[in-house]
Structure formats: C-alpha cells, structure tokens
Amino acid sequence: MKFYYFGGVLDSTSSNIDYLESNNFDGVLFTYNPYQGDFFVRIAKTLNHNQKIKYMVAIRPHTISAQYLCMINQSISEIQDNRLQINLISGHIKPHESDFNGIIGDITDHSSTKDRTNYLINYIQELSEMKNNTKIKIPDFYVSCTNIFAYNKASELNQKIILPYEVYKNKYFFNRDVEGQTRPGAELEIKDQKIMLAIGPILRATQEEIDLEFPKNKLIHIYGGGEYWDRERITTDTEYFTFEEFANFIQSLESEGINEILLNSGYEQERPKIIEYVKKYKDLNNI
C-alpha cells in the first residue's frame, strides 16, 4: 500500500516534506488555493534528489491549459523525473476565493458545478489524446471524482481516480433531483479501476478509546483551523478504526486492487497519530 498525505506545506518558512519522507509516506498532496502561491515554483526550488516522495499538486483545469501543464511537467522532469503528479479537480470554490477572478473564458470559479465538471471531462479527454504525441511529456495525473459523470469518463479513459471514502463505502454517488433532494445513484463498478482512496481515519488502540473521545450523537470539542468548535461525530469521509481494524482495512483494499490511500487528518490533533501509524505499519511490513 502507498500512503499519501493530504495538505502539504511548502513555503519560505516551513515544509513537512522531510517529516513525511522520514515517516514512510509515498506522496503528499498540495491543495488548490489561489492565495497560496504557485507550488510548481516551490517544488522546483526545494526538490531533494535524495528523496523519493511524490509531489502531487491539485489543479483546477479551467485555470491552466493542458498544453501549459505539460510544459511545466517537462521542466520539472528535467530537474528530477517521476517526482511530480497532478490532481485534477473541478473545484469546491470557497467564499474567500470568490473575488480573486483572473480567468478569461466561458468557465470560471463562478461557473456551476455541472459546467466545471464538463470542463474537467473535456480536459482529461484532451490529455488522453495528447498522449499520442511522443514529443509531449504528459503529467502523471489523478482525477478527483465527486460525481458519476467525472467517474465514468475517467473510467472510460482508464485514468487514475481519487475516490472519496463515502462513495467507496456506499458504492454509489448521490444524485440530486429537481426538488433538491439527494438520492442514491446507480451502483459503481469499483473492480479493475485505478483508484486512490481518500479517507480521514480516526485511529485509536481500542474501541473503548474511540467511544470515549468520540461519543455518538454528542458534540465534540474539536481544534481545527486555528480555533475550537463543536460538532457531532463525523460520518462522511472520516471513519473510526482501531489500529488492528485499519490494518485489516488496508489489506481488504489491496484485495480489491486498491493500492493507494490519500490520508486526511481532518482534525489537526489527529495528524501526528496518522503519521505515526503509517510509519509503524510500513516498518512492520518491511516496506
């Protein structure tokens, strides 16, 4: 199993690359935020040839052409090959980004989810066709699939998929009807797909510890994003495991042909627990 960490840090004041590399992570995902700056420049500046960890950069396709993305990939590959990966996302547009603008075209951050998804679909089709040109170095990319349309297209083109745990668990995406109600969609075919599973595990030694810290149907005092807040026990892409249960879960994924996991700590206090677990798991398995 390959482990990726969601939410890399790489700027002039801090980086968690050395920390993740030393704890046996195979890759790190840098999320998309127009105010964060350009991660490609930072990767080119800080790439350590003695490391193997992959740098995966999240990109909203409507913000950059497939042609220019290939040019960037070519340049970074000249510094060190096989270190850069791309995560193509239609984008969950946050309120603080709404006034950034800077996109000239039919599809922008203000476009509907449907329109941005259709652009993503056309984009991966374009990249797929560009593979026929041997002069172009196509980036190693994954498609974040949050709806059946993106999933079906990525599957059709045999592309790598990042699939949310909630969808994997249910084996379907939710559909929204004309009245705005969500209903289960058609069952997904998971077998033989190139899937990286995105999940935010809560890991404890025993079930008793989980029940004590995260009682069901009760508000939990959580620290995240620089502040404390209360919420009920998470039930979407977060799941609760004992150490042994998570090891068994990993083995069950491998039996299905899923060999990559994208781990999201969700709560800041869970980050060191997840990282420690990955190190111990891979050390014990002599990987």
User: What phi, psi does 175 have (nearest 5°)?
Assistant: -105, 150
Tokens of 238: 């977060």
Distances in whole angstroms, Cα of residue 208 to Cα of each of 132, 182, 237, 239: 55, 34, 21, 15
Given this model, what pLDDT does residue 132 score? 87
Given this model, what pLDDT does residue 217 score? 65
Output 141 or 228, whichever has higher pLDDT.
141
Tokens of 189: 């075919």
Distance CA 174, CA 167 (A): 8
Given this model, what pLDDT does residue 219 score? 58
> What is the residue extent of each domain of the chain?
2-202+236-266
User: What phi, psi does 134 have (nearest 5°)?
Assistant: -70, -10
Kindly state the percentage of the chain with pLDDT values over 70: 88
Tokens of 113: 């989810």
Given this model, what pLDDT does residue 234 score? 54
Distance CA 100, CA 94 (A): 11
**Tens-digit pLDDT profile for residues 230-260:** 555 555 688 999 999 999 999 999 999 999 9
**Tens-digit pLDDT profile for residues 162-218:** 999 999 999 999 887 656 677 888 888 888 899 999 999 999 999 999 999 888 765
Q: What is the CATH number of domain 2-202+236-266?
A: 3.20.20.30
- What is the CB-side half-sphere exposure of residue 8 using CA atoms within 13 A? 30
Given this model, what pLDDT does residue 229 score? 45
Residue type, 277: Y
Tokens of 145: 């699939």
